[in-house]
């Protein structure tokens, strides 16, 4: 999508740069709900603090939010509390399970090899349940909680009406 088309799409969604926040309502982030998604990328990057993390990108495949994306940042730095690393591990294992990726011990050596291994699931579809909950310490950045499962392949009436034949 070109820059012009992207800007037009954001404007058509109702984004007002004078009133809306980048990371909030009107900022393009998905709201709480259940979405049919597909894995479109997995890579290793460094966060602001310089720690390696796995960045997973999912795209909504149908419905009113088709084409919108969700990015998940998985960090396993030793300085993080155990419960954060455990939650990120569970997200990673669920993503792999439903994106049909079987990890080997070699795949889990570090963030780079894990991100590369998860790329074997690119294109696979799954169901994502997203729950956005308030962050009392930093209200502009609410918590984004995920659950994943198999994508139900029963087509809705809307899906059937969008078929090309």
Treating both helix axes as pointing N-terminal to C-terminal, what angle do 111-118 and 82-98 enclose, rounded to 10 degrees? 30
Q: Left, alpha or beta for 47 (phi > 0: left; psi -120 to 50: alpha)?
A: beta
State whether 136 and 146 are in the same domain. Answer: yes
pLDDT at res. 25: 44
Residue-wise pLDDT tens digits, 25-35: 444 689 999 99
Give the range of the structural domain holding residue 7, as residue numbers without chain letter: 1-30
Looking up residue 148, the CATH number of its domain turns out to be 2.40.50
State whether 12 and 85 are in the same domain. Answer: no
State whether 18 and 45 are in the same domain. Answer: no
pLDDT at res. 132: 96
Total domains in the chain come to 2
State whether 42 and 17 are in the same domain. Answer: no
State whether 8 and 38 are in the same domain. Answer: no
State whether 116 and 92 are in the same domain. Answer: yes
pTM for the whole thing? 0.76
Beta strand extents in 61-100 (DSSP E only): 69-75
Q: Which residue has the tokens 């709480």?
A: 32
Q: What is the mean pLDDT of residues 31-53?
A: 94
Question: What is the residue-averaged pLDDT of the chain?
Answer: 87
Q: Distance between the two ends of the chain, CA-based, in angstroms?
A: 26
State whether 87 and 156 are in the same domain. Answer: yes
State whether 26 and 51 are in the same domain. Answer: no
Q: Are 78 and 150 in contact (CB under 8 A)?
A: no
State whether 2 and 39 are in the same domain. Answer: no
State whether 135 and 147 are in the same domain. Answer: yes
State whether 14 and 79 are in the same domain. Answer: no
> Sorting pLDDT into bands at 50, 70 and 90, what band is 105?
very high
Residue 99 has pLDDT above 80, yes or no: yes
Residue 126 has pLDDT above 50, yes or no: yes
State whether 22 and 50 are in the same domain. Answer: no
């Amino acid at each position: 999508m070109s820059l012009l088309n992207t800007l037009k799409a954001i404007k058509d969604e109702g984004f007002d740069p004078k009133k809306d926040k980048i990371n909030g309502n009107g900022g393009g982030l998905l709201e709480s709900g259940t979405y049919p998604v597909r894995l479109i990328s997995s890579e290793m990057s460094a966060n602001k603090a310089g720690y390696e993390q796995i960045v997973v990108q999912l795209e909504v495949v149908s419905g009113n939010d088709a084409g919108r994306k969700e990015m998940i940042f998985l960090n396993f730095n030793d300085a993080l509390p155990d419960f954060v690393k455990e939650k990120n591990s569970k997200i990673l294992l669920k993503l792999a399970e439903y994106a049909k990726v079987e990890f080997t011990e070699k795949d889990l050596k570090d963030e780079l090899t894990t991100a590369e291994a998860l790329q074997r699931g690119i294109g696979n579809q799954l169901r994502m349940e997203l729950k956005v909950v308030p962050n009392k310490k930093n209200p502009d950045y609410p918590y984004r909680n995920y659950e994943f499962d198999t994508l139900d392949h029963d087509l809705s009436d809307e899906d059937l009406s969008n078929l090309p034949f």
